[in-house]
């Protein structure tokens, strides 16, 4: 008899926990196999991620390897390219071999979370640091160390001000927690290591509500958090949104420009493209599941987690997209799939939220429990840590993480960069009117292509004021002469109307010049530009 195959798409809380629960229920059975597809081999405990910034916890302590949770599950570290619910097939991106992998399933569990969606906000896409996974956290940390190092040595007061200003967009859980950790980290570093006066540092939180956490927490707790952060030096700008950003400032909806090199922004999200292409009716961009986690009209298709719209069993409306709900949904889902395979009756999902928490750094937190009890300060922080700790899989890991937390009491911050680079060589950038894009004498600038907006070329002869000699628009480029001649920038470029560009580094384009056709086209471009 052929094995039944259950495929789980997505390795977040919902997906990884479904695998874990299936393994428990299928122990000692070899008639069913479980496959999990995930781009990353770990599950992120999102609320701990901000602490990676400050190095308060071990980098790897915020994440749990999926194999550890579900050792007998076949793990595909791939992305999902296509799902065919009629043929019961899933197509995955190629691995080391170059052909795509096609897998057939008996039951399919969809737990693909939302994806970042910056489409309406090119400036934020280009210049804001996202903050969703471990790589983001490590990259932000590396950047903060670099920014402080440069601030300590620069002699340019404008640059110094940009480098020492940190802007966070969004005052929800993630924004507040990132803000708290970032603020602690930069002030602590400044005090301990650098030629920087902590009073020069600005950490600004921009939020559209009239106080932080206005949607998430009762007023009393939120105001406690707000006062605490204020005392630690955080500035708040309320009832305001981030409009866009350029390399040198953040632009607010009211036109205010905050000079900064560090902008962290909560990210607008949209459904995973695979979910959108699924031949299944969507409700508000989410898959409609019932209390059994089953998708309407299918007996072998299940959806849970952030991508599913599931009735909330305790109150009106739907389950919120939180880890607490995902974990319990996973349990129900695993139970029902095994019941379906065995021809047994199915059970409904029941759960009511335990509580909400936000950590505030320096061993402080706020917690709202059972919709009734408020906790704040050190006690809340302790409860929060314990709540995470009991969930760590494996006794050895519990000891290790527990000890490393204890150790933090004695230890200072570590300032080691891990050397995370952006995986792409293509730099996208956004500029506002009047901003300088490249300056005469620059040696590093590459070849830039204008996607939208316009720029002007300035001629700066010695002893005269800069003169506009030409204009550039979408589909035009600059930097070609300097690229071909390996020279410094001759004419400065200034943004005329809000502009988006994409920049190729010189060394990345170099090999293309080996193709005579392409070399000729660059030479033509250069002649055109110089006319």
User: Under rule CB under 8 A, which residues in 121-180 are in contact with its own copies?
Assistant: 133-135, 138, 145-147, 149-150, 152-154, 156, 159, 162-163
The nearer residue to its own copies, 144 or 278, going by C-beta atoms, is 144
Contact (CB, 8 A) for 225 and 366: yes
The nearer residue to its own copies, 55 or 169, going by C-beta atoms, is 55
The nearer residue to its own copies, 106 or 150, going by C-beta atoms, is 150
DSSP string, 17-59: HHHHHHHHHTTT--SEEEEEE-SSSEEE-GGGTHHHHHT-S-G
Q: Contact between 394 and its own copies (CB under 8 A)?
A: yes
Q: How far is the CB of 508 from its own copies (least distance, A)?
A: 6
Q: Contact between 250 and its own copies (CB under 8 A)?
A: no
User: Rounded to whole angstroms, what are the CA distances from 445 to 118, 427, 479, 502, 523?
Assistant: 25, 11, 7, 12, 18
Interface pick for its own copies out of 451, 459, 460, 490 (rule CB under 8 A):
451
Interface pick for its own copies out of 31, 79, 87, 95 (rule CB under 8 A):
95
Q: Contact between 484 and its own copies (CB under 8 A)?
A: no
Tell me the backbone φ, ψ of residue 373, rounded to 5 degrees. Answer: -105, 135
Count of residues interacting with its own copies (CB under 8 A): 96
Q: Contact between 487 and its own copies (CB under 8 A)?
A: no
| Calpha distance 7→106 (Å, rounded) | 8
Q: How far is the CB of 41 from its own copies (least distance, A)?
A: 5
Q: Contact between 97 and its own copies (CB under 8 A)?
A: yes
| Calpha distance 255→243 (Å, rounded) | 8
Helices (runs of H) and strands (runs of E) counted in the chain: 15, 32
| Calpha distance 290→293 (Å, rounded) | 5
The nearer residue to its own copies, 317 or 419, going by C-beta atoms, is 419
Question: CA dihedral in degrees (341, 343, 348, 353; nearest 10)?
Answer: -30
Interaction with its own copies in 42-71: which residues (CB under 8 A)? 42, 55, 58-60, 63, 65, 67-68, 71
Interface pick for its own copies out of 403, 433, 468, 469 (rule CB under 8 A):
403
Interface pick for its own copies out of 3, 82, 192, 391 (rule CB under 8 A):
192
Q: Contact between 452 and its own copies (CB under 8 A)?
A: no
Interface pick for its own copies out of 280, 339, 449, 484 (rule CB under 8 A):
449
Q: Contact between 492 and its own copies (CB under 8 A)?
A: no
Contact (CB, 8 A) for 335 and 21: yes
DSSP 8-state secondary structure symbol assigned to residue 295? B
Q: Contact between 99 and its own copies (CB under 8 A)?
A: yes
Q: Contact between 390 and its own copies (CB under 8 A)?
A: no
Nearest to 136 by CA among 126, 128, 145: 128
Q: Can you give the length of the chain in residues?
A: 531
Q: How far is the CB of 342 from its own copies (least distance, A)?
A: 25
| Calpha distance 457→467 (Å, rounded) | 8
Q: Contact between 79 and its own copies (CB under 8 A)?
A: no
């Amino acid at each position: 008899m052929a094995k039944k195959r259950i495929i789980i798409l997505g390795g977040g809380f919902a997906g990884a926990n479904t695998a874990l629960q299936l393994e428990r229920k299928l122990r000692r059975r070899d008639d069913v196999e479980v496959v999990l597809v995930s781009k990353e081999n770990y599950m992120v405990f999102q609320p701990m991620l901000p602490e990676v910034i400050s190095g308060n916890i071990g980098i790897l302590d915020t994440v749990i390897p999926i194999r550890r949770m579900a050792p007998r599950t076949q793990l595909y570290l791939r992305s999902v390219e296509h799902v065919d619910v009629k043929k019961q097939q899933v197509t995955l991106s190629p691995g080391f071999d170059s052909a795509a992998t096609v897998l057939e399933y008996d039951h399919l569990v969809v737990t693909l979370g939302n994806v970042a969606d910056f489409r309406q906000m090119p400036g934020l896409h280009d210049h804001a640091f996202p903050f969703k996974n471990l790589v983001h956290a490590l990259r932000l940390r590396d950047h903060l160390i670099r920014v402080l190092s440069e601030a300590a040595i620069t002699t340019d007061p404008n640059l110094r001000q940009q480098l020492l200003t940190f802007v966070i967009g969004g005052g929800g859980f993630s924004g507040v927690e990132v803000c708290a950790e970032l603020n602690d980290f930069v002030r602590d570093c400044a005090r301990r290591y650098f030629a920087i006066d902590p009073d020069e540092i600005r950490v600004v939180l921009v939020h559209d509500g009239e106080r932080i956490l206005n949607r998430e927490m009762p007023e009393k707790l939120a105001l406690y958090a707000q006062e605490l952060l204020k005392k630690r030096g955080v500035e708040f700008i309320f009832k305001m949104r981030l409009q866009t950003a350029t390399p040198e400032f953040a632009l607010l909806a009211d036109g205010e420009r905050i000079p900064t090199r560090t902008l962290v922004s909560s990210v607008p999200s949209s459904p995973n493209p695979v979910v959108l292409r699924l031949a299944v009716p969507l409700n508000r961009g989410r898959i409609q599941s019932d209390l059994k986690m089953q998708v309407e009209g299918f007996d072998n298709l299940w959806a849970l987690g952030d991508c599913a719209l599931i009735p909330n069993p305790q109150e009106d409306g739907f389950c919120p997209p939180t880890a607490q709900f995902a974990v319990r949904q996973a349990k129900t889902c695993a139970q029902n799939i095994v019941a379906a395979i065995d021809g047994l009756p199915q059970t409904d999902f029941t759960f009511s939220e335990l509580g909400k928490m936000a950590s505030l750094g320096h061993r402080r937190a706020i917690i709202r429990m059972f919709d009734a009890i408020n906790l704040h300060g050190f006690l809340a922080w302790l409860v929060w840590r314990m709540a995470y700790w009991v969930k760590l899989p494996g006794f050895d890991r519990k000891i290790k993480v527990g000890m490393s937390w204890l150790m933090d009491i004695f230890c200072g911050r570590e300032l080691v960069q891990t050397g995370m680079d952006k995986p792409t060589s293509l730099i996208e950038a956004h500029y506002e009117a009047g901003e300088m894009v490249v300056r005469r004498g620059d040696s590093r600038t590459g070849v830039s292509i204008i996607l939208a907006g316009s720029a002007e070329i300035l001629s700066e002869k010695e002893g005269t004021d800069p003169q506009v000699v030409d204009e550039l628009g979408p589909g035009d480029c600059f930097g070609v002469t300097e690229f071909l001649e390996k020279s410094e920038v001759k004419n400065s470029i200034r943004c005329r109307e809000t502009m988006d560009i994409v920049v190729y580094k010189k060394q990345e384009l170099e090999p293309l010049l080996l193709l005579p056709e392409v070399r000729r086209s660059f030479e033509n471009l250069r002649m055109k530009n110089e006319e």
